[in-house]
Chains A and B, each alone.
Chain A
């Protein structure tokens, strides 16, 4: 198993990851698309290799044995590494169009005003001729503390060092960051005027190129105002870089709703991805303050170290592909949330990357992928009804609940602790993921005298296997449709979502389902 770590990126976060890892003696390679590296290149040593002007093309293999094809200056490069950390920078899009504005010499972006501060010759020229500066932020789209901080710092500088009058026009001022409320007070004391909008937004007219007029009705004084700034600074939206998005594709990593390279899933806190051995830190995964980027860099370094020390640990049985039955339909390859299936001469499961969610086994049309202890046969002992229950005169529903081990199975234990009395005929079968529950499991339960079957799974967006709960939902829907067609009560099959901390809700769901089954009476599929 190879500890060698590839770091992708060149910004402060990537550099911090590298500096942290260099202290561990783990061999690292930094690959950046830029022509220079932020890390001191003289640091290039046996433990550190720097590849500039390098873009990744593809990645094969899995944790410990990644093989990466890249191009450096259009020459092909092959890299063999054990772990990968994506720490690419984000990028910004200007919000001119949101406010109906066109850029000009006095209508500029937040990044441009920051550049002016750093450029002494321009600073003199641009800022000496103006008196009134307006910042437009978060008026159409909600902003973030990262942007708010830059707006406030810029405004403070203009107000204090250049004696200009600044206005900040916003809706919700984002102060949920370290020190931002204090900064807000400081800017106000320095003379910055805040105009906050709630239900309306100001009318912004751009007459000529540099001619701008902002009119609004002030909600507090109930008066109409007009502002004609000498300079207008427009905020920006932080988005993932194109290259980071490309990397997500190359590595088969789930993205969030905004395209950042990490699924919006609590199981990925803080730098994990759906792929073992691939971490994502800093601006590749979210909009983060500088301190949070540093924390991310440390988390990534820790995750690499942790992987190294836990390598020998062999967990429970993993999925296996049985060669004779496999027809290379690639269903498992497509569905595996961890990308733990490799296609070489034969289709194989990489044991180290497999999290035994069982999705491959459930969906293989040939039954060629198996996790022995999750097979319906292996579970039937758990499912078989207690014979004592059958002798009772009154009907007591026998209900099998397939519960995800990360959520519902724990919620059940909490329900018991909290003193909820669960239905007597409830039999819980714990599965590693509800995605492991197949037709066979459900019918095995019904054939073994279950009057009803429940699948209790994680909430959408909370599945450790990303889509296991969705697949379970599809399975249930298909069987229910089949039930309706053959005239069997589809109410005997139920899927519900739960989290591990929902003891009360578990009890409620179990009670209600028992009631439903009570009304339906014994199942016709019952053997006795």
Chain B
């Protein structure tokens, strides 16, 4: 198998897990990642251990896969890159467009001076893992140089002369014997829901909360460092929603939200947490015990609230039907966390046309893998591009895709 190579599109949990397995078997991997940082969405997730005990969210396993992938000699990585088109004639030939790598990987020492000196918010992006090297990237959407060339502070200040703002985009051609699509998911954008996301400062998504906890170890109020006392989690935002034709449960949000809620409760015991839900889903092998502890620490309301109103002090007012009393109650929260669902990525149509595999009725991409004899086309999928799944399921699914690739090579 040493003469074979596999193109993996997507450097998240699925792509990394598959890459490591293939590389360990002596197969060469070309890993193409769209963003500047490897690790996908999950590399931004926080460890949610409570009482010094692991709650098996799997976030640290993403770190481990990333660590193994970046240090493996059989894996070649292209970040900031996208497949432009692909053709197949025995082997696949893919042309890849890579954004200019403004920060030189060899020269950068991750000192962080570029971020410190940059005058624009979020124009220098920060990575999530020590294995994200460089740990910083220039965000061309916000950077002044890319707007009107009016600022070169980062380049001027960099002590290693690692920043070259004039760097050109590059093109690569990759030949591969099989392709694995592991492009992940799009978190549901709740801007059209009546929760004021994007307009009210103190409404955040579950993913944003994950990142906040990872970066600061605590929850902060986005509107400023005022007293944070009451937090509401709203489940099923963009999942189990017939109006949107999202007839799926995103599987992971109950686990993520309740684990975060308990972590916050442990670290900031002064907070009061309310959890609005439809049905609490079972997650983890010790769910029975975990759920018991949840019910002791967190107020559980079985209703999804309607409209939210922002008050003058930027707190949020909401009406809902309270459980025990069945009466409409009005309550004010300091922070609202929306557990946004897993939805198909935006350019699923492009991918589906490029690889001639049809998305399912909801827009997820599954190769027909129910049969033991596998894809004859040499195109495989893994991870949340197939639909909602947890980190552990993603790892197992990616490894199963590797097995299918081996069988494809063997036939």
Task: Mark A residues whose CB is within 8 Å of B.
Answer: 16, 19-20, 23, 141-145, 172-182, 185, 196, 198-199, 219-220, 222, 256-258, 260, 264-266, 269-270, 286, 291-292, 294-296, 298-299, 301-302, 305-306, 309-310, 406-407, 410, 413-414, 416-419, 458-462, 497, 499-505, 508
Contact = CB atoms under 8 A, between A and B. Distances in A.
Given A295-B400, A298-B404, A508-B217, A461 B54 contact: yes
Given A418-B215, A419-B115, 15 more contacts: A141-B288, A142-B280, A142-B287, A176-B254, A260-B285, A264-B286, A270-B395, A299-B400, A413-B130, A461-B53, A499-B60, A501-B47, A501-B63, A501-B129, A504-B215
A406 B47 CA distance: 14
Which residue, of B47, B67, B254, has the highest number of chain A Cβ atoms within 10 A? B47
A413 to B, nearest CB: 4
Contacts of A142: 280, 282, 287-288, 291
Contact of B407 (A23, A270, A417, A459): A23
Which residue, of B214, B216, B285, has the highest number of chain A Cβ atoms within 10 A? B285
Nearest to A296: B396
Contacts of A185: 242, 247
Interface residues of B, number: 74
Given A142-B287, A305-B406, A501-B63, A176 B396 contact: no
Contacts of A508: 217
A299 B129 contact: no
B240 A175 contact: yes
A174 B285 contact: no
B121 to A, nearest CB: 17
B285 A299 contact: no
Contact of A500 (B58, B64, B247): B64
Name B's interface SS.
Answer: loop
A417 B24 CA distance: 28
Given A266-B60, A501-B129, A302 B399 contact: yes
20 contacts: A172-B282, A176-B254, A181-B247, A196-B279, A260-B285, A264-B286, A266-B58, A270-B399, A299-B403, A302-B406, A306-B25, A410-B63, A417-B129, A459-B54, A499-B60, A501-B45, A501-B59, A504-B214, A504-B216, A504-B217
A264 B242 contact: no
Nearest to A198: B302
Contact of B52 (A199, A257, A459): A459
B90 interface: no
Contacts of B406: 302, 305
A459 to B, nearest CB: 4
A499 B127 contact: no
Contact of B61 (A196, A219, A269, A504): A269
Interface string B55-70: 0101111111001000
B392 interface: yes
Interface in B323-338: 323-324, 326
A148 to B, nearest CB: 9
Interface string B335-374: 0000000000000000000000000000000000010100
Contacts of B112: 419
Contact of B251 (A23, A176, A500): A176
B325 to A, nearest CB: 11
B208 interface: no
Which 6 residue pairs are nearest across A and B when measured between Cβ atoms? A462-B54, A270-B396, A499-B47, A176-B281, A298-B403, A298-B400
A145 B253 CA distance: 15
Contacts, number: 184
Contacts of B396: 269-270, 292, 295-296, 299
A310 B24 CA distance: 7
A261 B226 CA distance: 49
Given A292-B396, A504-B215, A181 B326 contact: no
Which residue, of B214, B370, B387, B404, has the highest number of chain A Cβ atoms within 10 A? B214
A264 B285 contact: yes
A222 B248 contact: no
B15 interface: no
A501 B60 contact: yes
Interface of B: 21, 24-26, 45-47, 49, 52-54, 56, 58-64, 67, 110, 112, 115, 126-130, 132, 135, 214-217, 239-240, 242, 247-249, 251, 254, 279-289, 291, 302, 323-324, 326, 370, 372, 387, 392-393, 395-397, 399-400, 402-404, 406-407, 410
Given A176-B281, A176-B282, A199-B323, A270 B53 contact: no
Contacts of A305: 25, 406
Contacts of A461: 53-54, 56
A182 B248 CA distance: 7
A179 B388 CA distance: 11
Contacts of B217: 502, 504-505, 508
A496 B254 CA distance: 28
A311 to B, nearest CB: 12
Given A199-B323, A501-B59, A460 B129 contact: no
Nearest to B128: A501
A174 B281 contact: yes
A269 B407 CA distance: 22
Contacts of B288: 141-142
Contacts of B60: 266, 407, 462, 499-501
